[in-house]
């Protein structure tokens, strides 16, 4: 199962997110859940970099089963960064609605 932990502060601002595990929906290379979650998360990170000029702190696992992203703490672009990452969460929750046995989105404060 892919688990996404979204870390927020008390005001609801997303500070970071961590994706761990493998969906195991299908064999490697044919796993739609994994491909969808990867596309959404990496697309969001690339959008943050491209559209705001800010680069998050990114850590990845060598086997593709780990992604940790700490968002930049930048007041000048924070609204845009938050909008992008919140859109990512909505997309991941959409995948979760259809494939909940393979992906779970959790929130931590």
Mean pLDDT by 10 residues, the chain (109 residues): 97 96 87 94 97 96 90 89 98 97 96
28 flagged as catalytic: no
Alpha-carbon separation of residue 66 from 13, 52, 58, 82, 94 (angstroms):
22, 24, 10, 22, 20
**pLDDT at position 74:** 75
Question: What pLDDT is stored for residue 57 in this prediction?
Answer: 97
pLDDT given at position 76: 83
Q: Which of 28, 34, 79, 101 is catalytic?
A: 34
What DSSP element (H or E) covers 97? helix 78-98
Instruction: Say whether 15 sits in a helix, a strand or coil.
Output: strand
- Is 22 known to be catalytic? yes
In the prediction, which pLDDT does 56 show? 97
Strand order in the sheet with 2-8: 57-60, 66-70, 14-20, 2-8, 103-108
Output Rg (C-alpha) for the chain, integer angstroms: 14
Walk me through the domains of the chain, giving residue ranges and CATH numbers: 2-108 (3.30.70.1490)
pLDDT value of residue 17: 98
């Amino acid at each position: 199962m892919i688990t996404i932990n979204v870390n927020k502060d008390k005001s609801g601002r997303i500070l970071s997110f961590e994706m761990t595990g493998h969906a195991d929906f299908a064999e490697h290379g044919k796993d739609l859940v994994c491909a969808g979650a990867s596309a959404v998360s990496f697309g969001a990170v690339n959008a943050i970099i491209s559209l705001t000029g800010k680069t998050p702190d990114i850590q990845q696992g060598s086997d593709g089963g780990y992604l940790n992203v700490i968002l930049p703490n930048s007041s000048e672009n924070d609204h845009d960064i938050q909008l992008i990452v919140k859109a990512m969460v909505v997309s991941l929750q959409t995948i979760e609605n259809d494939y909940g046995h393979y992906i779970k989105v959790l929130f931590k404060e």
